[in-house]
Amino acid sequence: MPLPQAADIPEIKLFGRWSCYDVQVSDMSLQDYISVKEKYAKYLPHSAGRYAHKRFRKAQCPIVERLTNSLMMHGRNNGKKLMAVRIVKHAFEIIHLLTGENPLQVLVTAIINSGPREDSTRIGRAGTVRRQAVDVSPLRRVNQAIWLLCTGAREAAFRNIKTIAECVADELINAAKGSSNSYAIKKKDELER
């Protein structure tokens, strides 16, 4: 019996449409923390993995699933992962229609652009507080970028006729361009100032 060839393995596409093999992570420092390719390729951003048991394990969580999990914030949305998956799917379709690019690449670029590289911490005790500039670790940059993107989309969709999927798509497209219309980019510039 002949051994199966490598070509026999079907290419894993997110939602059956988006290939992750041509996605480039242009920032070298974030390559280990944005899991998109090879073994992190999934059909759905719903792996039911246990990523919180060990430090840094969440860096192995597929990046689209981390975005999906972040959308489940605020009490009324807790635990509604299927809803979050549907939002991400619609958002990706909108991104593809508007830009013609692979939405996974747009997401990765948006995360790279909106993660702050520098932050300030409070130093001092008993009343006297001074701010000290510090560098931000790569994992925190990714975490903060995802949080900023989701918060921006959530605030844009609140009391608005636009759906949350449209707002997520707009936020990701603007952040990928580096446009200051994006909430995440505005906040990042504010933090780095």
CB 192 within 8 A of CB 115: no
Q: What is the DSSP string of 85-130?
A: HHHHHHHHHHHHHHH-S-HHHHHHHHHHHHS-SEEEEEE-STT--E
Model confidence pLDDT, tens digit, residues 40-60: 888 999 998 899 999 999 999
What pLDDT, on a 0 to 100 scale, did the predictor assign at position 192?
83
The model's pTM? 0.89
The ranges assigned to domains in the chain are 12-22+32-45+60-119+131-192
Closest CA to 92 of 38, 165, 154, 175: 165
Query: Which of 3.30.70.1710, 3.40.50.2300, 1.10.455.10, 3.30.450.80 is the CATH number of 12-22+32-45+60-119+131-192?
Result: 1.10.455.10
Whether residue 111 is predicted with pLDDT greater than 60 in this model: the reply is yes
Mean pLDDT across the stretch 86-102?
Answer: 94
